[in-house]
Amino acid sequence: MDLLMLGTNHRTADLATRERLAFSPEEGRELLRAIVADQAVREAAVLCTCNRTEVYAVAEDLDAAEAKVRDAVREGRGEDLLAPGPSRDHKVGADAAAHLHRVAAGLDSLVLGEKQVLGQVKEAWCGARGADTLGVVLDKMFASAVHAAKRARSETDIDAGAVSVASAAVALAGKVFGDLEGRDLVVVGAGETSRLAAVHFAERRPARLRIVNRTPERAAALAADVGGEAWPFERLNEVLEEADVVALATRSPLPLLHPEAIAAALRRRPHRPLVLLDLAVPRDVDPAAASLENVFLHSIDALRGLVDQSLARRQRELPRAESIVLGECGRFLSWWRGLGATPVVRELREHFEKVRTEELARSLRHFSPQEHERVERLTRALVNKLLHLPTTRLKSFDPDSREGIMRLDAVRELFALGDETDEREVDRGA
């Protein structure tokens, strides 16, 4: 059995291609069932994120497995999206295993150390189990990748700090108040940056989360997604009187908030700090507002500085995280290589067990049951000790390598494993 990874990601393909290869959970299960339908592929799993779609497969013939995966995708999408070309990522064997381990740990993400991808790897693992296409090899490989990712995150700072402007803004606001739980939070705008800020705000369990936008329908849609309230743009000044934090990310060519309006709102809420997070270009808040007492104004440039610091910190942690991930992958590969030696190991143990039981049957005819049991335990322990080192050595070699093949063949030859006629019977003249 060998491993195949066939897919595409943000390094190889543009967004349009990745969109065509996106599969919903139900579509993913249908794809997996189609891939394993004729047993050319023994096991399969599909990993889908916003930046990648990857199929992992276990098969004896990797060319046949690749053809099956491409056929299944063509049937589902109407075109051969995984044909050889610059948009495709293709890995086999140990490279495929190492790739999944790096992906799970966020080492192959668009943003180094991304946390969400680990959950998506777990979903792919569960999805394959739900589709009944998960076998012993992929189950072990996904378990190893998840364990490696957890170790990398707990033992290094590979996921430390905020690495998007929106997450940096929310983290900075949290430092002002100590915690955003129970606070009054506001997002002005409904674009992608505003959406990210709203999602991060919602995760902090605020007492109130309001979405303010010129288009009521867009405000309502975003508010529904994050469990907030939609407010009309005309009531923005009223919002300032109550809010603890306001994040702004609109496309307005001119500032929306001026020092006069902010000062008026502050007079109706004395001694309460107001955090303004200006994520827009051009700016949504007049920079002069920074001089107002109890106003903490942070521009996108300041936030990008925090993001750069976090990314630099993560980059420094990359060698340590890589070492952990590759170490765990190495343990999986040792286990996987051992599978190739398993039939020979099993035959070797059966051979020794047959010799042991035959000799006991011949030699212990006049022993009492208690004596027979003691000798039985002794000889079984002796066989296990004798076979422990040879078994370990056999499993440590790649069964497909020249050295591995020679060692397995040597064991078969030395002990006549697989022969229909037992050599001991030949020696006795049978």
Model confidence pLDDT, tens digit, residues 167-223: 888 888 988 898 899 999 999 999 888 998 999 999 999 999 999 999 999 999 999
Q: Is the pTM of this model over 0.75?
A: no
Share of the chain above pLDDT 70, in %: 91
- Give the residue among 101, 102, 106 at the shortest CA–CA distance from 117: 106
According to CATH, the topology of domain 165-298 is Rossmann fold (3.40.50)
Place 301 in a pLDDT band, splitting at 50, 70 and 90. confident
Q: Which two tokens stand for residue 337?
A: 């290589």
126 part of the active site = no
pLDDT at residue 305, rounded to an integer? 85
Strands (E), 150-283: 184-188, 208-213, 229-232, 245-248, 274-278
Give me the residue spans of the domains in the chain: 2-155, 165-298, 337-427
Considering the domain 2-155, what is its CATH architecture? 2-Layer Sandwich (3.30)
Name the active-site residue from 48, 50, 126, 329.
Answer: 50
Predicted confidence at residue 403, as pLDDT, reads 65
Own/partner contacts of 213-218, CB < 8 Å, gap of 24 or more, are 213/188, 213/189, 213/250, 214/250, 215/190, 218/190
pLDDT tens per residue, range 24-63? 899 999 999 999 998 899 999 999 987 899 999 999 999 9
| Helix axis angle, 369-396 to 300-363, nearest 10° | 140
Q: What is the pLDDT of residue 303?
A: 86
Instruction: Give the single-character DSSP code of 156.
Output: S
Contacts with 354 (C-beta within 8 Å, 6 or more apart), sequence order: none
Reported confidence tier of residue 21, pLDDT bands at 50, 70, 90: very high
The pLDDT, as a whole number, for residue 414 is 73
Q: Where are the alpha helices (DSSP H) in 78-187?
A: 93-104, 116-130, 136-155, 165-177
Backbone angles phi, psi at 137, to 5 degrees: -75, -50
> Which of residues 358 and 195 earns the better pLDDT score?
195
Please, which residues have CB within 8 angstroms of residue 427's CB and are 6 or more apart in sequence? none
> Residues in the chain, how many?
430
The per-residue pLDDT for range 307-317, each reduced to its tens digit, is: 888 899 999 99
**Residue 163 pLDDT class (50, 70, 90 cuts):** confident
* Tokens read off for 362: 């011949």
Question: Six-digit token pair at 328?
Answer: 């765990």
What is the rounded CA–CA span in Å between residue 310 and residue 373? Answer: 66
Phi, psi of 242 (to 5 degrees): -115, -25
Q: What is the mean pLDDT of residues 132-138?
A: 94
The pair of structure tokens assigned to 355 is 């010799």
